Structure 1
Amino acid sequence: MVSLITIFGLLGNITTGLVYLAPAKTFWYIMQRRSTEEFDCLPYVVKLLNGYMWVYYGIVKPNSILVATINGFGAVLELVYVTIFLIFAPPRTRAITATLFGVLDVVFPIGAVLVTQIFCNREMQIDVSGFLSLLFSVATYGSPLSIMKTVVSTKSVEYMPFLLSFILFINGLTWTVYAVLTNDWFIGIPNGSGFVLGTTQLVLYAIYWKPKQSKTTSDHVDDGWQNESLMLNN
């Protein structure tokens, strides 16, 4: 019989996959325009690092293959996003992006893996990789908080699409339940935070949504904001 842990892990893989796919429209827009315009590379560089660390955590911690697989998928997508950004960014932005990519997505993860593999036992490897994954997941919360501030100040949900808020809510809830079932608070803390953020965004949507609103809604707004929870934010 399939366990609840497996069920919620698989559901979390589905919702996290949707979170990772959400920026695809932004990068299709960038490719069509052949320019990154005012988009920021940092959310995608950090998400790539976050994906790397969750993959490592899922590998070193027993019975956490579902954590590793979905974040491996996410890391590949984020690598594609960063590559597209590098191709179409103007020279100065490209140089900044390449530097951030080299430091955060190459040097740091390789160093973290080597140091923990050489100097740490398995339990310490789990703790260090889990803490780093939690830390980088929380670091991605700046964008959703900024969006929520914009909603309150403008009294408009134009830049906070309902579907993305709902996915954030479901993703956070699913992985929080998974964390409770597995007693894994490295997963529970960032996804519990994602669940709270998703809930708050849905409440704001209910308060500020207006019928027949303008359809200019964030088709081209940076989707990095919803990379908020773990598997996500995982």
Structure 2
Amino acid sequence: MEALIEKLSIILHPYKDVVGQFAIIITVLQLLTPALLINEIRKAKSTKGFSIIPFIGGGIISIMFVVFGQMLNDPVTVKVNLIGVILSVVYISLFYMYTPLNDKFNVWLRVGVAGAFSAVMVAYTKYEDPELVEHRFGLIVTLLLYALIASPMAELGEIMRKKSTEGLPFSIIFMGFAVGLTWLVYGVILNSLFMVMQNLVAVLLSGFQLGLFVVYPSKSTVSEKKKN
């Protein structure tokens, strides 16, 4: 595996700057993708049927990557994810605005838990052994990223029962796949096994979810049969 990555790195290295710039652009576009979901909520004038998890999860991941970017002394990672933090605050605020009154407490509760978790993670980086913190925190960020990408699969049983992908955020899943694939190529160019494996798993998780849209329609066939 390492030998293959090394060979591909040599072949693709002349395209490093182009791929790097594209990775930044597509990552920013990914951060803007949830706006499409917010627009659907705006049209429905309610968050019923929509989950706040993608927005909260995106905020947590952005905060974690800001901290990780500071560890790596990488201003690009820090700047891109600061944008992610700001956008997440906007998305969560709009989600709250359209949340029915009886569900608003649950939104506050989840945001509070997410905020507390983020604070604990940031505090951890201040007290961990400086020689170990970068690697360990990198693993934590990677696991959180996987959890966020895989979160729509929590509804897999319901999707199979209804034979419908209705409610799955296609735009977010698709952009996650595209971003993962781009950073996978960039990881190959950098000859970074860690980055390659991190994004390879992300691509596989997103790809599986995209496959569900091929197998099942976006509307429930069960509900349609009942109507007929």
TM-score, structure 2 as length reference: 0.71
Match of 2:182 among 171, 174, 189: 174
Tell me which amino acid in the other structure corresponds to 2:21: L
Structure (1/2) with the larger helix percentage: 2
Aligned AA (2:119):
I
Distance 1:204 1:185, change over 3 A: same
* 2:119 paired with 1:110: yes
C-alpha displacement of 1:79: 1.5
Distance 1:146 1:118 in 2: 34
Asked if residue 87 in structure 1 is aligned to residue 97 in structure 2, the reply is yes
Q: How does 1:78-227 map to 2 (within 5 A)?
A: 78-104=88-114, 106-121=115-130, 123-145=131-153, 167-184=175-192, 187-200=195-208, 208=215
Q: Could you say what secondary structure the match of 2:50 adopts? A: coil
CA apart distance, 1:85: 1.7
| C-alpha distance in structure 2 between counterparts of 1:60 and 1:66, whole Å | 12
Please name the residue that 1:14 is paired with.
25
Alignment: residue pair count: 208
Q: Distance in 2 between matches of 1:166 and 1:109?
A: 26
Bigger shift: residues 92-101 or 163-172 = 163-172
Kindly provide the amino acid, as one letter, of the partner of residue 140 in structure 1. L
5+ long unaligned stretches in structure 1: 218-234
Task: Tell me by how many angstroms 1:51 deviates.
Answer: 1.0
Distance 1:165 1:99 in 2: 25
Q: For the aligned residues, what is the CA RMSD?
A: 3.4
Structure 1 residues 149 and 126: alpha-carbon distance in aligned structure 2, compared to 1, 3 A threshold: same
Q: Secondary structure at the match of 2:47?
A: coil
Alignment-derived partner of residue 73 in structure 1: 83
Deviation at 1:20, TM superposition (A): 2.0
Question: Within 2, Cα distance between the matches of 1:109 and 1:7?
Answer: 33
**1:30 equivalent among 22, 41, 56:** 41
Letter in 1 for 2:132: M
SS of equivalent to 2:104: helix
2-side partners of 1:154 and 1:5: how far apart?
A: 45
Question: What TM-score do you get using the length of structure 1 for normalisation?
Answer: 0.70
Question: Percent same amino acid among aligned pairs?
Answer: 26
For the residues of structure 1 that align with 2:48 and 2:198, how far apart are their CA atoms?
Answer: 31
What CA deviation, in whole Å up to 9, does each residue of 1:101-137 have, x standing for no partner? 1221x2222222223224431x423123312210110
Q: Is the 8 A contact 1:151 1:160 kept in 2?
A: no
Q: Would you identify which runs of 4 or more consecutive aligned residues in structure 1 move more than 4 Å?
A: 2-5, 146-166, 183-186, 198-205
Q: Which has the larger radius of gyration?
A: 2
Which deviates more from structure 2 when the two are superposed, residues 80-89 or residues 149-158? 149-158
Counterpart among 47, 50, 68 of residue 57 in structure 1: 68
Alignment-mate amino acid for residue 188 of structure 1: V
How much has 1:53 moved relative to structure 2? 0.4
